[in-house]
Structure 1
Amino acid sequence: MGERSWYMTREEIEVKSPSRVDGIDSEQESFQRWSYSTFLQELGQRLHNPQKSIATSIVLCQRFFTRESLAKNDPKTISIICMFIAGKVEGSPRPVDDVIAKGCRVLHGKEPSTEMCARLKGAVLTGEKFVLSTLRFDVEIEHPYEPALHWVRRWIKVEMDAKRLYQAAWNFLNDGLRSSLCLQFRPSQIAAAALYLGSRMTNVKIPCDGEKDWWLEFHVTKRQLCDICNQTLEIYQQDFLIPVKHEAKSKFGDGGLLRLEPGR
């Protein structure tokens, strides 16, 4: 499957999701997307994975749920599988037992029992084939970190300003992973929006070469830039304390939707 086939409009994501057929509305799916993305971010940090590997796991998980329903696939199980796959894809592989153990600590705050470990290990190893098949083995993911960093290094000459701008953009890029932006826009386009938001936050002026608008270098239109910025800011405005009305019955066992308290 080519990368282009993964991109959809926001309306397509919200209306055509497989989860709609099973009665999960777009608000609940947005909550679940935020929830499993937050879980993967923390799990990846506990595994000492590079941010690129963590981001890959999140994008893989989001792509999976454009093809499969949340009601039929336990998000936390799929998340752990995607983290396991991402580690191998990005050159930071972790033993499946380690991924499972740390995942259980994040979810439950304690070590999993021997029985639970065995059950989850079987689910992960079996589910890996299903997830890869669903993704059609298209697991090479590009991220916006590199184009953002490359642009800052080229255009921001004051070292302190460059550090401040890139750190702010980095934070927006990481937070943006909790939305569906990676399913709508290309990495370079998301990078441009993160740099714009970062410049507004840090008051670091974005230079212009006088010949064209700076964002055109990122192959993004002004309308797209505004849309990405607005959707990024929506992340900080949403109330994720919504009730979850559906319990997942995973094909791989250990059902139940992932629930996490909101946090940065």
Structure 2
Amino acid sequence: MNAKENSTAPTKNASAPNAKTYGKIVLTLQNCLLPDEKLNSTPSYLDGLDAETETDLRILGCELIQTAGILLKLPQVAMATGQVIFQRFYYSKSLVRHNMETTAMGCICLASKIEEAPRRIRDVINVFNHVKQVSSQKAIQPVILDQNYVALKNQVIKSERRVLKELGFCVHVKHPHKIIVMYLQVLGYEKNRSLMQQSWNYMNDSLRSDVFLRYQPETVACACVYLAARQLQLPLPTTPTWFSLFRVTESSIRDVCRRILRLYSRPRVRPEQLEKRVEELRRQYEEARTKARGGDVDGHTPSPPLPKHHNAWGGFISRSGTHAAPERTKSPRYDKANVRNLQVLLHREVKGQSIPSEKDSTAEVDPEVTVTVDPANLKRLSEDDQAAINRHEDREVTDREVDLETGTWRNRANIAASTDGTEDGSNV
């Protein structure tokens, strides 16, 4: 056995250089962190959006998610997950090419499902519409369920799928809520409610920045505790340093603190100005793409015309308003030559209609069967047709069928009479 292993070893080593390399898959419960080159060169920056406008749009999107989550009565963990997913997505896609508000709706829908507190898309759209009207100081108007609503709903569904695709379905987010509680227990401040609440407030505000894409939640938790203790003027252990117990460096804590405090010094922005800037860049992007493709204004290659009544699911169906009655050949009068070729056919087209008869003014068409003659198929009845005729002959005399040519009723007695030549089948 050892000899065989030794003999096959050189073969494996020789074929190793020719082996195809694949990307590795890492399964972890830690948060996904981005390298510095991706954090400094974002897709929005490559599309011409300046860093300040991008930061304002990110903050505005996170605020929309937070406010909508409160109105939807979502748990804070779901709102935090939505904001982290929102930040991750726009390090993969551009704010110029993907609408910020629609993406925020998709992120909050996805986060509510991740945290097992799902909300309907209709409720999310209503809440975002309400928040937008309040922020712009407009009259509160409900969402009208028209074609625009249906189109927006489809956009939110597509946005949710796009976020999942771009993130590779890696949507796990580890939050520092519980970590802050454990660290305060270690430091002996577990009964200090003000310190714990202030630390949580800093942590919730940090979701508007990109610290969760730069550092692990343990580092963010230490920074929030540090800021809260400094504000409340509470001492923390220095010998040894308290954050060294949690394997966090002082430089990382200071960097997170600076990024959180920078949020409070930013001026308040107007969403209309941000949207105007993004729309201008989006128009330039569409024009450049159209010029590069040399196609139409909308950048799409014209498709060949579809056939009439084409169904996108692969069939050709009759649309509303185009239900034309199928053409049917009139059956001849019954005589001895073709009585044996009677066929019992389904007659759903005229079900429920009224056809005049000689005895009564009107008569109800039998919804089950109709007797017709196929002159081109004489003496060539299939087994199913013959069985249907046999079943018809076994029916009661009271069951009647309509003659398609004359519009008069016929029953089994009339058919039998027509075979003897006594009647032509037009009388009841």
Q: TM-score range by the shorter chain?
A: 0.7 to 0.9
Indicate yes or no: 2:219 matched with 1:192.
Answer: no
Q: Residue 181 of structure 1 is aligned with which of 211, 217, 220?
A: 211
Matched AA of 2:63: T
Contact 2:77 2:115 in 1 (8 A): yes
**Where does 1:113-262 land on structure 2 (aligned, <5 Å)?**
113-115=144-146, 116-157=148-189, 159=191, 162-207=192-237, 210=239, 212-241=240-269, 243-244=273-274, 245-247=277-279
Which SS does the other structure have where 2:278 is aligned? Answer: coil
Q: How does the TM-score come out when normalised to structure 2?
A: 0.54
Matched AA of 2:115: E
Which SS does the other structure have where 1:7 is aligned? Answer: coil
- Alpha-carbon deviations, 1:151-182, whole Å to 9, x = none? 113333572xx211111111111111111111
Equivalenced residue count is 244
Identity percentage of aligned residues: 29
- Alpha-carbon deviations, 1:106-129, whole Å to 9, x = none? 122432221243222111122221
**Which structure has the bigger radius of gyration?**
2
Contact 1:101 1:117 in 2 (8 A): no
Contact 2:33 2:215 in 1 (8 A): no
Q: Structure 2 stretches of 5 or more lacking a match?
A: 1-24, 135-139, 284-428
- Alpha-carbon deviations, 1:179-223, whole Å to 9, x = none? 111111111100100000000111232246x4x321123332111
Q: Structure 1 stretches of 5 or more lacking a match?
A: 251-264
Q: How does the TM-score come out when normalised to structure 1?
A: 0.86
The structure-2 alpha-carbon separation of the partners of 1:217 and 1:103, relative to structure 1 and needing over 3 Å to count, comes to farther
- Alpha-carbon deviations, 1:12-50, whole Å to 9, x = none? 42x310001211011111101110011111000001111
Q: Residue 76 of structure 1 is aligned with which of 78, 81, 101?
A: 101
| TM-aligned CA deviation for residue 57 of structure 1 | 0.1
> Which structure's residues are more often helix, by fraction?
1
| TM-aligned CA deviation for residue 132 of structure 1 | 0.4
Over 4 Å off, 4+ runs: 1-5
- Alpha-carbon deviations, 1:36-85, whole Å to 9, x = none? 01111100000111111000000000000000000000111000100000
The structure-2 alpha-carbon separation of the partners of 1:249 and 1:87, relative to structure 1 and needing over 3 Å to count, comes to farther
Q: Residue 114 of structure 2 is aligned with which of 73, 83, 89?
A: 89
| TM-aligned CA deviation for residue 249 of structure 1 | 5.6
User: Which residue is equivalent to 2:132?
Assistant: 107
The structure-2 alpha-carbon separation of the partners of 1:171 and 1:6, relative to structure 1 and needing over 3 Å to count, comes to same
Indicate yes or no: 2:48 matched with 1:23.
Answer: yes
Which SS does the other structure have where 1:138 is aligned? Answer: coil
Superposition RMSD on alpha carbons, in Å?
2.1
